[in-house]
Amino acid sequence: MFKHVDYLQYQAKPEKPDAFFAAKLQELVGGQFGEMTVMMQYLWQGWSCRVPGKYKDMIMDIATEEIGHVEMLTTMLARLLEGGPAEATEKAAAANPVLAAVLGGQNPQHSIVTGGSAMPTNSQGVPWNAGYIVASGNLLADFRSNVSAEAQSRLQTSRIYNMTDDRGVKDMLQFNLARDTYHQQQWLLGIEQLIEDGYTENGIEDSNGEFEKQDQNHTFYSFDPESTAGEGRWARGPALNGKDEIIYVPDAQPLTDDKPLGPAPDPKLFVTYDGSMGKGKPGTGAGAHAQGVANVVNKIKGALD
């Protein structure tokens, strides 16, 4: 259950309308790293969390805060769009007819589609989509994704902050910048808590680690004979797994004689082919179905064995 308070978390009071800047601000609403993304990402992570108590509560707290940030931005956008597009277009036309001819960067959908309100899109009018979010059910992997999301969100907020002189807009964005600064810390501290509580040994996602090639989990390969990458910490010193020293391999060479060639193609698919791998096997829909059935049977046999 969610409860709504009839006040914004922080004020969204521009000094004056600015339909052109509103089009830029849309990136912070419906862009890949906008507030809609972190809102939905954290909500889904919270709903999917299988650890009752502090972890689930923390995720849902920040998710709920992000709902409020979307509300702040959409309110700011509506106030920036006050009087647009007619008034804004008229002023732009008076100053620069060419600029006015293309609406000076204004998004006409703000008037046509939403009647002077925000849209769930980025600054180019591309709709927000759920493919932006990460919610794997693995708290360590998700928390690392969240740090990145907050960093990208803050970076874009900082860039947009420099695109306006409106003191009211800057005031709200100063609040948003600060919250993104803390939220990065929150997720990093969450990783520390996962380590402390024994959910991960060292903060590295290492599921099925006992099966991985052990000599490859602490090796840095350089593929440029003149590379200076070996000077970095990532190429020397103790690995973060707490067990090994990092191995640096300059001018890396192939570890196999296997070449990246597929099998001879199905002649019915008319692929350009020189015949060097023999004659391809013709395939059909029925053949693909039979192969699928055979795969399932083999899996069952393997499980029984």
Binding site per annotation, positions: 35, 57, 61, 66, 69, 150, 183
Specify binding-site residues for Mn(2+): 35, 66, 69, 150, 183
3-state secondary structure of 52: coil
Got the DSSP string for 262-294? -PPPPGGG-----STT-PPPP--HHHHHHHHHH
Specify binding-site residues for Ca(2+): 57, 61
What is the number of alpha carbons within 13 Å of residue 31 lying toward its C-beta? 20
Which uninterrupted H or E stretch holds 16? none
Tell which residue, 132, 147, 13, 155, has the closest CA to residue 79: 13
In sign, the C-alpha dihedral spanning 246, 252, 256, 261 is: positive
**Are the C-beta atoms of 24 and 104 separated by less than 8 Å?**
no
Token couple for 48: 């999917």
**Are the C-beta atoms of 29 and 73 separated by less than 8 Å?**
yes
Name every residue whose Cβ is closer than 8 Å to that of residue 32 and which is 6 or more positions away in sequence: 122, 132, 152
Rounded distance between C-alpha atoms, residue 293 and residue 38, angstroms: 41
